[in-house]
Structure 1
Amino acid sequence: MKDIHSVEKKNWLSAGTWLRGLFMLLFGFIAGFVRFIITMIAIFQFLFLLVTGRANNHLKSLGQSLNNYIYQINQFLTLNTDKYPFPLSDWPEDKPHYRYTHRS
């Protein structure tokens, strides 16, 4: 019969598990900062829309890129991927990872 405590102890003492936890904490803080930047982009976009009547394409592109980065971080934080987010891997693609489709 397997001793359940041996598996728990192994995970508890694993340096890889602790390292992942440290990076999860770090990327959680980074995600908070990036969300703040996205909020600032939203405010500037609204002001730009008030003044010009259209969106700023550079801010749209930056916002999309940061949204993809947040997605990359969230995938890592929720253990949906073992791939570390930027700067430990490549910056995410510019194309959206998720698209909302309206149901009829």
Structure 2
Amino acid sequence: MRASQVRARIGRRLLRTVAADPGRPPLAIATLSPTPSEAGSDTVSLREASELFAQTGHPVTPRTLKRWCDRHEVTVLQHGRDNWASWSDLLEIHAEEVDAREAR
């Protein structure tokens, strides 16, 4: 593992950041473990997603992620005190919103 990679294990999912280009902030990606109980499921808590996005150099709070999910009509499920959404959808939303923020 390169020094630019940071890993977090959430259930059977391996979430990590990887530097795509030298000198640029790392990107957040997910690797799913193919297990019957998790097949097709890539949900992550907004809190955990926020922690991973902070490592990319483009931090965002869980509350902002929730607002972005509402704006982009992404389903958010509440389980206990945490809100959960699709990691794939959060990656797309984060990229769009960061690009829009930087274009201003």
- Check whether TM > 0.5: no
How does the TM-score come out when normalised to structure 2? 0.26
TM-score (norm 1): 0.26
Query: Considering only CA atoms, is the larger Rg found in Structure 1 or Structure 2?
Result: 1
Instruction: Answer 1 or 2: which has greater strand percent.
Output: 2
Q: Quick check: which one's helix share is greater?
A: 1
